[in-house]
Amino acid sequence: MRIRKSAIFLSLCLASMAGLAADTATLTAPEKLRADPSPYAAVVGAVHRLATVRIVDERRDWYQVEADGGRSGWLPRQSLQLDTPAPAAASASQPGPGSDARLVPRSTPRASNHALLLSLDPARARVDGEAAAAIARLMGVPDANIQQPPAAQLDADGLRRALAALDARLGADDRAFIHLSGAGGNPPCADAIPTAGRDTLPLSEFSAFVRNLARKADKLVVIADAGDSRCPAPSINAATGNVLTLSGPRGTTQALRDCLDGRAPLTASAGIASGEDWRHCAQAALGPRDGAARITIGGNPSIAPTPGLVVATPASPRKLLQAIHAQRSERRSVIVGGLRSSYRAGDPLRISVSGPQGGQLYVLAAHDDGFVLLHPSPAAPAERFTGSQSLSLAARDLGTGNVRLLALVTDSPRNFMRAGFSGAGNVATAPADARSLRDLPLEILGGDTSPTCQRAETRNLGAAQARQCSTAFGSAIADLIISP
C-alpha cells in the first residue's frame, strides 16, 4: 500500500518527539537484560521491578539501557515506563570530561570511537571542552576514550604528543573526532596554529597528522573553532573521502552541539544528517551577531557525524539508500556487474558482485513504498562472502517503477529483522514508515551493539572480535526501472 508523504512526515515527527521525550525509564516488571534487542539474545543480568535505567538507544520494540552497576543491555519496550527528563544536576551519571548530563547519545557508545579535545585558550578551555565533549558523546565516543589534555600542556610539542597518542590508540577502521579551539594569538596566523605556549604549529604539519590518521580510520571528523577577524579558524586540508572538516568563528562548537542535541533544528531530506546539513544548521544557530563569519566545510560533506540521529524530515526510501551508500569505506571497493537499466516484472535479474573477501553480502532494493532485502533469503543461513558471487533474482520482487539497488559488503553481520524487515516468500520487506526509515540506517551503520563492542578494546582482543565490532562496509549502487 502506498503511503502518502504527509503521513510519513507526521510519523517521523512523532517518532522523533517520542525518542527524545525521556532519557530515563522505570521497570514495570522484573526483566532480563539482554546483549541484543531480541528475546533470544544472551542474558547480561537481571533488573528488578521499579528500577530506574538510563536510555541509550532504541531499536524497534527494544531500548538499550544503562542499569545500576554500569551494566548495559536491552530491555523490551512493554516493560518500561518512560520518565520525564530529569534535571541536569540530578540525572548525571558517570561524569567525565565536559559533562553535560542532559544529552542523550545519538549513536551507541563504542570502544572503537575516539575523541581528542585540544582547547588552546585556558580562558575558554572549560566552555569549549564541555561543548566538544558533548559532541563526542553524541557521536558515540565513550567517556574513557575522550582525551582532553590541559591547555597549559598544549604548546607545539604538546600538540604533537597529543596527536601522536591518538594515532597510537586508533585501531584500523576506528572512528575519531578531533576538536581544536581557542587558537588565539598574534597575526599572521593563516599558515600556523598559535598554541597555548605562544609558539605555533605549522598548519601543514597539523594537516599531515590528519591525513595520516585518515589512512587508518574509517571516518574522521575535525572541528576547528575560535577564529576571529585577525586569526581565522584554520582550514584543514584533508583531501580524502573519509574525513569531514568544519572550521568557523568562536561559538561554532556550541552551535554544532545544539544541532546534534535538538536545541537547534537539524533537517536532512535524505533521512541521515550529513556534514553539510550539520554545517547549515550550525550557521543558522550562530545567527546575525557573527556578521560575515562563516563555517566552512572540507573533506567529504556527505559524511554523517552521527548516523543514529533521528531527524524529523520526510525521506524517500531511495534517497535513504543513497545516503547510506555515501557512508561507505573507500578502502572497500564493491562492483556490481550484469545489470541492465530496465526490466519487465517477469524477467530474471542476474548480477555478479565482487568485493572484500570475508565479509557479509547483502542486496537491498528501495522503491516508493518501501524496502526489499533480496539477498540473503530469509531462509538462507548466514555465510561469509568469498569475494565474488553470482545471484539470480526475480525482477518482480523489486517492486515496479523507479528502483534503487544497493549491494553491501559489511565486515560484520547485520540483522535486518531489527530494522523492521519480515519474510515475504524468497525476500524480506519493510514499509516506508517512520520506524523503518529510522532503524535501517541504525542497523547498517551501527552494526553490533553488544557490550563487547562498547566496553572492550576490540583491536587488542583478536581479529575475530575486531571483525564482529566493525561498522565499516563497502557498497555499490544502481538505478533500475521495473515495468509491469
Give me the CATH number covering residue 75.
2.30.30.40
308 found inside a domain: no
Q: Number of structural domains, the chain?
A: 3
> Does position 227 have pLDDT exceeding 70, yes or no?
no
184 found inside a domain: yes
The domain boundary residue, chosen from 53, 71, 88: 88
> Does position 161 have pLDDT exceeding 90, yes or no?
yes
Q: Are residues 349 and 231 in the same domain?
A: no
Q: Are residues 125 and 59 in the same domain?
A: no
Please, what is the average pLDDT of the chain?
Answer: 82
Q: How confident is the model at residue 104 (pLDDT cuts 50, 70, 90)?
A: very low
What are the phi and psi torsion angles at 276 (to 5°)?
Answer: -70, -40
Q: What number is the average pLDDT over the span 148-158?
A: 92
Q: Are residues 336 and 406 in the same domain?
A: yes
64 found inside a domain: yes
Q: Are residues 209 and 329 in the same domain?
A: no
Q: How confident is the model at residue 430 (pLDDT cuts 50, 70, 90)?
A: very high
Q: Are residues 252 and 330 in the same domain?
A: no
> Does position 339 have pLDDT exceeding 90, yes or no?
yes
Q: Are residues 185 and 116 in the same domain?
A: yes
pLDDT for position 425 = 87
304 found inside a domain: no
pLDDT for position 41 = 83
359 found inside a domain: yes
Residue 174 sits in a domain of what CATH number?
Answer: 3.40.50.1460
Distance in angstroms (rounded) separating the CA atoms of residues 126 and 123: 8
> Does position 17 have pLDDT exceeding 70, yes or no?
no
Concatenating the DSSP letter of every residue in 413-446 gives: ---TTTTT-EEETTEEEEESSHHHHHHHHHHHHH
pLDDT for position 300 = 93
CA distances from 228 to 186, 233, 286, 294, 482 (A): 11, 7, 14, 11, 55
Whether omega before 188 lies within 30 degrees of 0, making that bond cis, reads yes
306 found inside a domain: no
pLDDT for position 88 = 34
pLDDT for position 136 = 95
341 found inside a domain: yes
Segment 42-101, tens digit of pLDDT: 888 889 888 888 888 788 788 888 887 677 889 999 999 887 543 333 233 333 443 333
Yes or no: say if 138 and 260 are a contact pair by the CB < 8 Å rule. yes
Q: Are residues 12 and 61 in the same domain?
A: yes
Distance in angstroms (rounded) separating the CA atoms of residues 424 and 365: 14
What does pTM read for this prediction?
0.79
Burial tier of 234 (Cβ tally within 10 Å: 0-12, 13-18, 19+): buried
Domain residues for the domain of 186 are 95-299
Segment 256-300, tens digit of pLDDT: 999 998 889 898 888 899 999 999 999 999 886 545 578 989 999
pLDDT for position 419 = 87
The domain boundary residue, chosen from 22, 56, 88: 88
Q: Are residues 59 and 141 in the same domain?
A: no
305 found inside a domain: no
Q: Are residues 122 and 32 in the same domain?
A: no
Segment 357-390, tens digit of pLDDT: 889 999 999 999 999 999 998 877 778 899 999 9
Q: Are residues 233 and 328 in the same domain?
A: no
The domain boundary residue, chosen from 272, 299, 326: 299
- Percent of the chain whose pLDDT exceeds 90: 44
Q: Are residues 268 and 155 in the same domain?
A: yes
Q: Are residues 458 and 389 in the same domain?
A: yes
